[in-house]
């Protein structure tokens, strides 16, 4: 074979190989419409993702944590209750919310296929985060949850995006049924017969939320009897309130965030005359591996809604919360928890 013929064969092979690569590149991508209504071209097969928001990362713990390149926040104390795939992931920070800021060089080294941004509003594009993510040259997809009612759709959207549809359909169905069951029971109970609730935040129990705050969405679903009726001044919440105001509200039930407050409230003479305290109806919100009620407002709130409904309407919403919680941890986090462990989480 002549040298010229050999060169032609090599050149033809190179061109064919290049053409095949181009075809592979075209067939390996698809255009999707994200939950913000944006058209985005993403890989057909997504293996690794960067989620710069804790809300989105938490949701991915329940879908497929092995796809995450890292965690936004450390969970050292509660790592036993995280999915095993998430326990040893590095903490890479985030671009919004709590925790350290992401090191974009570390993100690039992890080679994610796309980034998923979380938004609480369909019109609220995260400008600063978008600018930072442009440096990564990654497809950027928005998931949007304006309320807990949107979570079933978020699960379905992410299932289609990440090729995890079988998994996310099950989780979406569970969430939708939990919401429907709670709303159905509440609708049959006259408002005047629903227990009034004070949400106690802070170590003194004297921070709370207005009834229109995202931080008390579970109270809205469970009867809308939050005693603090006002307009939220900021997303941060934590409105200061006086004990005299709480006594005036005289709630039937108190749900508390801080164990310091919970541990002393029954022995504190200043709180003694509040109805919920007199009747021993102050409840500490479980928070393992993260909060069931709020801060952060995550998918754990579906379990928190069951916990709250059972506390407020024990005759109408009859469940074994320990059994329900064990099932939830198994279903959403892939973690098996004993009766003893779950009782410690709930009644700590």
Q: For the ranges 12-16, 217-221, 288-292, 343-347, which has the lowest average pLDDT?
A: 12-16
Point out the domain boundary residue: 126, 151, 176: 176
Same domain for 230 and 172, yes or no, is: no
Q: Is residue 14 part of a domain?
A: no
- Whole-structure pTM value: 0.88
Residues 141/49, Cβ–Cβ less than 8 Å: no
Q: What is the pLDDT of residue 227?
A: 98
Q: Is residue 184 part of a domain?
A: no
Q: How far apart are CA 280 and CA 260, in angstroms?
A: 17
Please report which helix (H) or strand (E) contains residue 265, including its range: helix 259-265
Same domain for 44 and 163, yes or no, is: yes
Residues 274/246, Cβ–Cβ less than 8 Å: yes
Q: What pLDDT, in 10s, does the model give residues 297-338?
A: 899 999 999 999 999 999 999 999 999 999 999 999 999 999
Q: What is the pLDDT of residue 11?
A: 39
Q: What pLDDT, in 10s, does the model give residues 102-146?
A: 677 888 889 999 999 998 887 766 666 677 777 778 899 999 999
Q: Is residue 334 part of a domain?
A: yes
Q: What pLDDT, in 10s, does the model give residues 4-16?
A: 444 443 333 333 3
Q: What is the pLDDT of residue 141?
A: 95
Averaged confidence pLDDT in the chain: 88
Same domain for 121 and 202, yes or no, is: no
Q: What is the pLDDT of residue 223?
A: 98
Same domain for 68 and 212, yes or no, is: no
Q: How far apart are CA 296 and CA 344, in angstroms?
A: 21
Q: What pLDDT, in 10s, does the model give residues 76-113?
A: 778 899 999 999 888 888 775 554 566 778 888 899 99
Dihedral over alpha carbons 238, 244, 246, 247 (to 10 degrees): 170
182 alpha-carbon distance from chain centroid: 19
Q: Is residue 5 part of a domain?
A: no
DSSP state of 252: S
What mean pLDDT is predicted for residues 33-58? Answer: 93
Q: What is the pLDDT of residue 14?
A: 36
Domain span at 80: 23-176
Got the DSSP string for 42-81? EESS---EE--SHHHHHHHHHH-GGGBS-BSS--TTTGGG
Same domain for 146 and 247, yes or no, is: no
- pLDDT > 70 in the chain, percent: 88
Same domain for 35 and 160, yes or no, is: yes
Point out the domain boundary residue: 176, 198, 221: 176
Q: Which residue from 185, 190, 218 is spatially nearest to 285, judged by alpha carbons? A: 218
What mean pLDDT is predicted for residues 23-39? Answer: 78
Q: What is the pLDDT of residue 94?
A: 77
Same domain for 201 and 339, yes or no, is: yes
Q: For the ranges 24-38, 53-67, 107-121, 245-259, which has the lowest average pLDDT?
A: 24-38
Higher pLDDT: 296 or 268? It is 268
Same domain for 342 and 194, yes or no, is: yes
Same domain for 166 and 251, yes or no, is: no
Q: What is the pLDDT of residue 54?
A: 86
Q: How many domains in the chain?
A: 2
Residues 141/119, Cβ–Cβ less than 8 Å: no
Point out the domain boundary residue: 176, 208, 238: 176
Q: What is the pLDDT of residue 93?
A: 80
What mean pLDDT is predicted for residues 270-283? Answer: 98
Q: 241 falls in which pLDDT band (50, 70, 90)? A: very high
Q: Is residue 106 part of a domain?
A: yes
**Can you give the CATH number for the domain in which 27 is found?**
3.40.50.1980
Decide if pLDDT at 206 tops 50: yes
Same domain for 288 and 330, yes or no, is: yes
DSSP state of 291: -
What mean pLDDT is predicted for residues 19-29? Answer: 48
Q: Is residue 12 part of a domain?
A: no
Decide if pLDDT at 278 tops 80: yes
**In this structure, how many other beta carbons lie within 10 angstroms of the beta carbon of residue 107?**
23
Q: Is residue 13 part of a domain?
A: no
Q: Is residue 16 part of a domain?
A: no
Q: What is the pLDDT of residue 8?
A: 43
Q: 181 falls in which pLDDT band (50, 70, 90)? A: very high
Same domain for 203 and 326, yes or no, is: yes
Same domain for 254 and 141, yes or no, is: no
């Amino acid at each position: 074979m002549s040298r010229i013929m050999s060169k032609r064969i090599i050149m033809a092979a190179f061109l064919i190989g290049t053409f095949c690569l181009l075809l592979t590149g075209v067939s390996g991508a698809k255009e999707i419409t994200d939950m913000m209504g944006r058209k985005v071209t993403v890989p057909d097969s997504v293996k690794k993702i960067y989620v710069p928001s804790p809300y989105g990362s938490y949701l991915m713990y329940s879908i497929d944590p092995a796809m995450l390149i890292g965690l936004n926040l450390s969970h050292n104390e509660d790592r036993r209750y995280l999915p095993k795939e998430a326990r040893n992931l590095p903490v890479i920070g985030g671009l919004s919310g709590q925790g350290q800021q992401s090191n974009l060089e570390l993100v690039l080294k992890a080679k994610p296929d796309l980034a998923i941004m979380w938004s609480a509003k369909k019109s609220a594009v995260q400008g600063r985060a978008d600018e930072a993510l442009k440096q990564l040259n990654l497809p950027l997809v928005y998931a949007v949850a304006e309320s807990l009612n949107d979570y079933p759709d978020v699960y379905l959207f992410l299932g289609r995006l990440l090729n995890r549809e079988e998994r996310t359909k099950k989780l979406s169905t569970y969430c939708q049924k939990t919401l429907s069951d709670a709303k159905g029971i509440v609708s049959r109970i006259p408002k005047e017969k629903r227990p009034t609730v004070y949400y106690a935040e802070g170590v003194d129990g004297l921070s709370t939320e207005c009834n229109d705050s995202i931080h008390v969405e579970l109270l809205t679903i469970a009867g809308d009897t939050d005693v603090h009726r006002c307009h939220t001044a900021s997303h941060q919440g934590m409105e200061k309130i006086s004990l005299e105001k709480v006594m005036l509200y005289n709630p039937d039930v108190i749900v508390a965030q801080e164990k310091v407050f919970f541990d002393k409230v029954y022995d504190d003479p200043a709180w003694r005359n509040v109805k919920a305290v007199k009747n021993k109806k102050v409840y500490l919100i479980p928070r393992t591996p993260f909060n069931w009620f709020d801060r952060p407002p995550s998918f754990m709130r579906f379990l928190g809604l069951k916990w709250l409904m059972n506390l407020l309407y024990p005759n109408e919403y009859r469940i074994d919360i320990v059994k329900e919680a064990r099932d939830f941890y198994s279903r959403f986090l892939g973690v098996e928890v004993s009766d003893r462990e779950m009782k410690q989480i709930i009644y700590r």
